[in-house]
Amino acid sequence: MITFSANPQLHKIKGDSIQSKTEFIRDTDWGMSTDFQKVFDRILEVAVKGKLSEDEMMKTLFFFSDMEFDRASRTYNYCGSGYGRASTNNWETDYMVIERKYKEKGYSKVPEIVFWNLRNSVATPVPSKKRGVALVSGISKNLVTLFLEGGGILSPEAVMLQAISGEEYQELAVID
């Protein structure tokens, strides 16, 4: 687990029960701000120190939050009553910097980034079609089950296919 803070820290979740693990997470220092560059710097620091191979590197990085993701990028636009969507160009720049840092350390691939906004709001840190990024919003039993059973892989197509895979939908036909 990596904390949301100005200086992200890695933590191994401790506890013998779901309750003790939840308490551990709740008691962790959360600075309520995230510098995504520092998150990736920290990941690379640990990977290099541990001499991790490309195959040992994480493939997907999940950001679970009940906060708005408006400020995921360093530049965001103020609009009326609050902060609006992050600048598309700035994400491209941030992502390119992350890619460069990975290459400099000998890694060819940056993990896919999944932003999961547990609040079900409309704020998005980057447009949904940006490379290297997947967006999930809201929380439901079915969505969590799909996430856990799919090994953490979520894509719009996988969610849709799971939603219509039930027996009750097998008799439906598309008429064009």
User: How high is the pLDDT of residue 85?
Assistant: 42
pLDDT at 81: 38
Of 70 and 94, the one with more pLDDT: 94
Better-scored residue on pLDDT, 173 or 161:
173
Contact 114, 62 (CB under 8 A): yes
Q: How far apart are the first and last CA of the chain?
A: 48
pLDDT digits (tens, 9 = 90+) for 100-151: 999 999 999 988 887 777 776 665 555 556 667 777 777 777 777 777 776 6
Cβ pair 130, 95 in contact under 8 A? yes
Q: Is the pLDDT of residue 15 over 70?
A: yes
109: tokens are: 């691939």
CA distance 58 to 174: 40
Over 50: is that where the pLDDT of 23 sits?
A: yes
Q: What is the CA radius of gyration of the chain?
A: 18
Q: Is the pTM above the cut of 0.75? A: no
Quote the tokens at residue 30.
Answer: 């959360």
